[in-house]
Amino acid sequence: MNTEGAANEGSLRGEEWSSWQDRLRQAGFHPSKRLGQNFLLDTNLLEAIARDAAVGPGDHVIEVGTGLGFLTRALLATGATVTSIEVDRRLHELVSEDLRELEGLTLIRADALQGKHSLSPELCSAIPSAGPWHLVGNLPYSISGPLLAECAQSERPPESMTVLIQKEMALRAAAGVGEPGWGLLGMRLQLAYEVRQLRTLGGAHFRPRPKVESSLIRLQRRGDAPTREVQASVVGLSSALFTRRRQVVRRVLGDAMGDREAAVAALSAAGVPEETRVEGLKEADWVALAASTGWPSQDRDQE
């Protein structure tokens, strides 16, 4: 579904946005490009995102990026319990004045990530110790890839992730082998999740108006997802090989292992043709190769 072009004026929170602008100015707040602070104001779209998240009474949602609290309210209206995390102290304090009395809501001021390779302690503490949970948010470009990848490979991964991200990143998350945008991010997410693009949003729906389009994607955890240990091994192996993604796997794996003969034996055991290019390896190939090489898990940069 596409929702590009100018936003419907009837669906914009015009008066509410004007009121917020006054409050933000009085607090000396200016939206940060670095933090990706582009606020979604379209009421219809906010409600649609809450519906697309498919959450309701009894569900626990962790929202990354409280912002002005518009999506937070839409999620609470579904009957779900919401923990909302906001990194900006000024926004957190302002929004807390409006939202802190709402039933079923916990507000946390913290970053969602600790560096690029781990979830923050605050986010981890918000994850329920039992039962499924769901990630929802309007994510800035700078954290969307690492956050999705770290959540997917965490000890208590979310049952679903419904996030609004830049269109370019959405294409990479959903791309399959051989498609434009295919790479490490999509392969790692798709190890454990079915990834679907739901809708595209033009910049007119946001304030300030971004120069790029955004896409809403939904990741639903697969029933046949590999174990966390297998995923970690695949992440380590793919990090080592994808730096030479257009070369044949026999050569690249041989160099990575420091033993060409051992690489050929591992490929044979995994049932992977030696002349396959690294970028042409499918999910089953990566899992089989991780097992046949005994590759250790490694922390690497996400795409």
Residues 60, 178 within the same domain: yes
Residues 211, 234 within the same domain: no
Angstrom CA distances, 23 to 85, 92, 97, 272, stand at 21, 13, 12, 60
Rounded to an integer, the average pLDDT of 155-178 is 97
Residues 216, 232 within the same domain: no
Rounded to an integer, the average pLDDT of 256-270 is 97
The CATH number given to whatever domain includes residue 77 is 3.40.50.150
Total tally of structural domains belonging to the chain:
2
Place of tokens 């998350």: 173
In a domain, 298, yes or no: no
Domain end point (choices 188, 205, 221): 221
pTM of structure: 0.91
pLDDT of the residue at 6: 38
In a domain, 278, yes or no: yes
The region that residue 5 occupies, defined by phi over 0 for left and psi between -120 and 50 for alpha, beta otherwise, is left
Residue range of the domain that includes 216: 2-221
Tell me how far the alpha carbon of residue 90 is from its chain's centroid: 24
In a domain, 168, yes or no: yes
CA angle 154, 159, 161 (to 5 degrees): 85
In a domain, 76, yes or no: yes
In a domain, 110, yes or no: yes
pLDDT of the residue at 216: 98
Residues 216, 271 within the same domain: no
What is the token pair recorded at 238?
A: 């793919």
Residues 252, 166 within the same domain: no
Which residues have C-beta within 8 Å of that of residue 203, sequence separation ≥ 6?
209, 210, 211, 212, 213
- The winner for highest mean pLDDT among 12-16, 116-120, 251-255 is 251-255
Residues 39, 86 within the same domain: yes
Sheet containing 81-86: order of strands: 2-3, 193-201, 214-221, 160-166, 134-138, 60-64, 81-86, 105-109
In a domain, 81, yes or no: yes
CA dihedral 231, 116, 238, 141 (to 10 degrees): 100
Residues 235, 167 within the same domain: no
**What confidence tens digit (pLDDT) does each residue in 89-133 have?**
999 999 999 998 899 999 999 999 998 889 999 999 999 999 999
Residues 102, 56 within the same domain: yes
Residues 152, 277 within the same domain: no
Domain end point (choices 174, 192, 221): 221
Residues 217, 235 within the same domain: no
Residues 217, 174 within the same domain: yes
The CATH number given to whatever domain includes residue 268 is 1.10.8
Domain end point (choices 221, 237, 261): 221
**What confidence tens digit (pLDDT) does each residue in 227-248 have?**
999 999 999 999 999 999 999 9
